[in-house]
Structure 1
Amino acid sequence: MPSHLTRHIFRRLLANEPIVHRGCLRRRAYSTTRIHNVCAGASTLGHGARLESHSQRRTFFNFSMFRKKQKESKDADIAPGVEDMMQFAKLERMNARLPHPQHVLAAIRKFFAFMRGTAKTGIEDIQAELVLQCLRYCMRTGHILKSDGQPTFVSMVRYAAPVLRRRHPPPTSFHADLAKAIYVDAKEVDVDDKTVLEALQACCNILTRTGRFSEARELVLEYEELAGDSDHRSNGREIDDAVQADVGNAAAFDPSSARDTYRRLWNGVLYGCAAANDGDGVQSTLRLLRDRGWAGNCYVARAMLVYSLHGSDAGAIEKWFLEAGQADEAGTSGAPSSEASGPFRLSKVLQWCLAHGELELGHKIVRRSLGNDPPKQVWDTVFVWAAGTGKGADEINRMLDVMEASNKSKANRDEWRLPDIQTINGLVNYAVSRNDPYLAERFIALGKARGIEPDAWTYVLQMQYRLKVNDVDGALVAYKNLQAAGDSSEKDGPTVNKLIIALCQSQRHDFDTIMNVAADLSDRQVRFEAETVSRLALLHLSRDELHDVIDLLNTHSFHFSSTERESIRNSIVGYCTDPATRTPRAWDAYCILRNIFDETPRPQRTQLMEEFFRRGRPDMAVNIFNAMRAHSRSDTYPNTDTYVSAFLNAAKIKDLDSLEVIHNQLKLDYNIDPTTYLRNALIIGYSGCGQPRRGLSQWDDIVASKEGPSYNSIHIALRACERSPFGDIKAKDIWAKLRRMKIDLDQSMWASYAGALVGNGDIATAIDTIEKAEKDNEAEIDAFLIGSMYNGAPGQNKQKEVEEWAKESYPNVWSKLESIGFEEDDNGMNVFKLQRDVSP
Structure 2
Amino acid sequence: MHSHLTRHVFRQIVYNAIYSETFCWCRPISPCRPRARKCFPSSVVPARMLFGFSRQPARKPKPPDFDPGLKDMLQLGQALAKHERPPPRSALVNAFTSFVLDKQENERVAVEDSQIGLLLTTFRYLQDTQDEEGALGLSVGDMVNTMSLLTGPSVRRAIETTNTVSLARSLFDEVNRKEELTAEDRHQGLNTLIEVLASKKKPLEARDLLEEHWKQDSSSIDRKQWVNVVLGFARVDEQEQMIRTIETMEEYDVSFDNQAHQYVVEFYVSNKNVELTKKWYEYGVARGLRPSQRTLRRVLGVCIYNNELEWGEPLLRSLVDGEPSNPKDSKAYWRLILQWAAAKGKSVEELDRLLNVMVQKTREQGMDVQPDMGLINGLIAFATFKNDSYTAERYLTLGRKWGLEPDSKTFLLQLDYRISSGDLDGAKAAYDELKGRELETDADLRFINRLIVALCHQKPIKYNSIMELVDDLNERKARLNPETVSALALIHLQRGELHDLIDLLNTHVYRFEANKRLSICNDLIQFCFDRSILTAKVWDGYNIVRQTFREMDLETRTKMMFEFFERGRSDMATHVFGHIRHLDSPEIKPTVETYVLVFEGIAKAADAESLALVHNMLKLDATVEPDTKLYNSLMLAYLGCGDPRQALLFWDDIIHSREGPTYSSIQTALRACAEAPFGERQARDIWSRLKRFDIRVTKEIYAAYIGALAGQALFDECTELINNAKREAGLTPDVLMLGTFHNALPSAKQEAMKTWAVETYPTVWADVQKLSKRKKMSSSGGFLNGIHYNIGTDIAV
TM-score, normalisation: structure 1:
0.81
Q: Where does residue 93 of structure 1 map in the other structure?
A: 81
Check whether the contact 1:575–1:586 (CA below 8 A) recurs between aligned residues: yes
Q: Where does residue 174 of structure 1 map in the other structure?
A: 163
Q: Where does residue 258 of structure 1 map in the other structure?
A: 220
Q: Tell me the alpha carbon deviations over residues 731-771 of structure 1, each in whole angstroms, 9 at most, x when there is no partner.
A: 22112112211222222221222222212222322332343
- Report the residue type matching 1:734 in the other structure: I
- Distance between the aligned counterparts of 1:195 and 1:809, measured in 2? 99
Q: Where does residue 810 of structure 1 map in the other structure?
A: 761
1:216 matches 2:178? no
From 775, 788, 792, give the equivalent of 1:831: 788
Q: Please list, as runs of the form range in 1=range in 2, the aligned pairs for 1:267-278 lying within 5 A after superposition.
A: 267-278=227-238
Deviates more, 1:289-298 or 1:709-718: 289-298
- Report the residue type matching 2:201 in the other structure: G
- Report the residue type matching 1:679 in the other structure: Y
From 289, 309, 312, give the equivalent of 1:359: 309
Q: Secondary structure at the match of 1:835?
A: coil
Q: Where does residue 450 of structure 2 map in the other structure?
A: 498
Check whether the contact 1:612–1:621 (CA below 8 A) recurs between aligned residues: yes
Check whether the contact 1:447–1:453 (CA below 8 A) recurs between aligned residues: yes
1:584 matches 2:539? no
Q: Tell me the alpha carbon deviations over residues 49-102 of structure 1, each in whole angstroms, 9 at most, x when there is no partner.
A: xxxxxxxxxxxx974567123323222111222222222222222233455656
- Distance between the aligned counterparts of 1:121 and 1:484, measured in 2? 22
- Report the residue type matching 2:68 in the other structure: P
- Report the residue type matching 2:332 in the other structure: Q
| 1:360 positional shift | 3.2
- Distance between the aligned counterparts of 1:805 and 1:184, measured in 2? 89
- Tell me: CA distance 1:295–1:595, structure 2 relative to 1, closer, same or farther (3 Å): same
- Report the residue type matching 2:672 in the other structure: A
- Tell me: CA distance 1:706–1:611, structure 2 relative to 1, closer, same or farther (3 Å): same
- Distance between the aligned counterparts of 1:201 and 1:665, measured in 2? 56
CA RMSD of aligned residues (A): 2.9
1:671 matches 2:659? no
- Report the residue type matching 1:161 in the other structure: S
Q: Please list, as runs of the form range in 1=range in 2, the aligned pairs for 1:333-412 lying within 5 A after superposition.
A: 342-343=293-294, 345-352=296-303, 355=306, 358-374=308-324, 375=329, 376-411=331-366
Q: Where does residue 566 of structure 1 map in the other structure?
A: 518
- Distance between the aligned counterparts of 1:362 and 1:777, measured in 2? 83
- Distance between the aligned counterparts of 2:415 and 2:291, measured in 1? 37
Q: Where does residue 237 of structure 1 map in the other structure?
A: none
| 1:285 positional shift | 2.5
- Report the residue type matching 2:203 in the other structure: F
From 244, 250, 264, give the equivalent of 1:284: 244
| 1:324 positional shift | 10
Deviates more, 1:694-703 or 1:291-300: 291-300
1:681 matches 2:630? no
| 1:541 positional shift | 2.4
- Tell me: CA distance 1:212–1:693, structure 2 relative to 1, closer, same or farther (3 Å): farther
1:765 matches 2:717? yes
Check whether the contact 1:165–1:206 (CA below 8 A) recurs between aligned residues: no
- Tell me: CA distance 1:212–1:800, structure 2 relative to 1, closer, same or farther (3 Å): farther
User: Greater relative contact order (Cα 8 A, min sep 6): structure 1 or 2?
Assistant: 2
| 1:203 positional shift | 4.4
Q: Tell me the alpha carbon deviations over residues 569-606 of structure 1, each in whole angstroms, 9 at most, x when there is no partner.
A: 12222233333333333333233223222222222222
- Distance between the aligned counterparts of 2:183 and 2:676, measured in 1? 80
- Distance between the aligned counterparts of 1:474 and 1:111, measured in 2? 42
Check whether the contact 1:267–1:299 (CA below 8 A) recurs between aligned residues: no
- Distance between the aligned counterparts of 1:536 and 1:142, measured in 2? 46
- Distance between the aligned counterparts of 2:636 and 2:151, measured in 1? 55
Q: Where does residue 183 of structure 1 map in the other structure?
A: 172
- Tell me: CA distance 1:690–1:196, structure 2 relative to 1, closer, same or farther (3 Å): farther
Q: Tell me the alpha carbon deviations over residues 363-388 of structure 1, each in whole angstroms, 9 at most, x when there is no partner.
A: 11111101111322122122212211
| 1:449 positional shift | 0.9
- Report the residue type matching 2:628 in the other structure: T
From 279, 282, 307, give the equivalent of 1:319: 282
Q: Secondary structure at the match of 1:96?
A: coil
Q: Where does residue 247 of structure 1 map in the other structure?
A: none
- Distance between the aligned counterparts of 2:761 and 2:274, measured in 1? 76
Q: Where does residue 398 of structure 2 map in the other structure?
A: 446
| 1:479 positional shift | 0.4
| 1:139 positional shift | 3.5
From 407, 420, 425, give the equivalent of 1:455: 407
Q: Tell me the alpha carbon deviations over residues 30-61 of structure 1, each in whole angstroms, 9 at most, x when there is no partner.
A: xxxxxxxxxxxxxxxxxxxxxxxxxxxxxxx9
- Distance between the aligned counterparts of 2:642 and 2:723, measured in 1? 31
Q: Tell me the alpha carbon deviations over residues 487-523 of structure 1, each in whole angstroms, 9 at most, x when there is no partner.
A: 5753431110111111122134532221111100111
- Distance between the aligned counterparts of 2:609 and 2:126, measured in 1? 48
Q: Tell me the alpha carbon deviations over residues 383-439 of structure 1, each in whole angstroms, 9 at most, x when there is no partner.
A: 21221122221222222112111212333x4xx433211111111111111111111
Deviates more, 1:744-753 or 1:113-122: 113-122
Q: Where does residue 512 of structure 1 map in the other structure?
A: 464
- Distance between the aligned counterparts of 1:631 and 1:197, measured in 2? 47
Q: Where in structure 2 are there 5+ consecutive unaligned residues?
A: 2-48, 778-782
Q: Secondary structure at the match of 1:609?
A: helix
Q: Secondary structure at the match of 1:574?
A: helix
- Report the residue type matching 2:796 in the other structure: S
Deviates more, 1:570-579 or 1:690-699: 570-579
Check whether the contact 2:304–2:343 (CA below 8 A) recurs between aligned residues: no
Q: Please list, as runs of the form range in 1=range in 2, the aligned pairs for 1:287-298 lying within 5 A after superposition.
A: 287-298=247-258
Check whether the contact 2:168–2:193 (CA below 8 A) recurs between aligned residues: yes
- Tell me: CA distance 1:152–1:577, structure 2 relative to 1, closer, same or farther (3 Å): farther
Check whether the contact 1:353–1:361 (CA below 8 A) recurs between aligned residues: no
From 695, 706, 711, give the equivalent of 1:743: 695
Q: Secondary structure at the match of 1:831?
A: strand
Deviates more, 1:596-605 or 1:468-477: 596-605
- Tell me: CA distance 1:539–1:219, structure 2 relative to 1, closer, same or farther (3 Å): same
| 1:445 positional shift | 1.1
- Tell me: CA distance 1:642–1:90, structure 2 relative to 1, closer, same or farther (3 Å): same
- Tell me: CA distance 1:718–1:421, structure 2 relative to 1, closer, same or farther (3 Å): same
Check whether the contact 1:116–1:160 (CA below 8 A) recurs between aligned residues: no
Q: Secondary structure at the match of 2:788?
A: strand
Check whether the contact 2:265–2:295 (CA below 8 A) recurs between aligned residues: no
Q: Where in structure 1 are there 5+ consecutive unaligned residues?
A: 2-60, 229-254, 330-341
Check whether the contact 1:304–1:320 (CA below 8 A) recurs between aligned residues: no
| 1:457 positional shift | 0.6
Q: Tell me the alpha carbon deviations over residues 96-141 of structure 1, each in whole angstroms, 9 at most, x when there is no partner.
A: 3455656544432332222222463232122223333333333345
Q: Where does residue 822 of structure 1 map in the other structure?
A: 773
Check whether the contact 2:300–2:316 (CA below 8 A) recurs between aligned residues: no
Q: Secondary structure at the match of 1:830?
A: strand
Deviates more, 1:537-546 or 1:75-84: 537-546
- Tell me: CA distance 1:193–1:350, structure 2 relative to 1, closer, same or farther (3 Å): same
Q: Where does residue 533 of structure 1 map in the other structure?
A: 485
- Distance between the aligned counterparts of 1:404 and 1:546, measured in 2? 59
Check whether the contact 1:109–1:152 (CA below 8 A) recurs between aligned residues: no
| 1:624 positional shift | 2.7
- Tell me: CA distance 1:96–1:819, structure 2 relative to 1, closer, same or farther (3 Å): same
Aligned length: 733
Tell me the percent identity: 32
Q: Secondary structure at the match of 2:146?
A: helix
Q: Where does residue 42 of structure 2 map in the other structure?
A: none
- Distance between the aligned counterparts of 1:594 and 1:821, measured in 2? 41
- Tell me: CA distance 1:135–1:738, structure 2 relative to 1, closer, same or farther (3 Å): farther
From 68, 73, 77, give the equivalent of 2:61: 73
- Tell me: CA distance 1:406–1:613, structure 2 relative to 1, closer, same or farther (3 Å): same
- Report the residue type matching 1:704 in the other structure: H
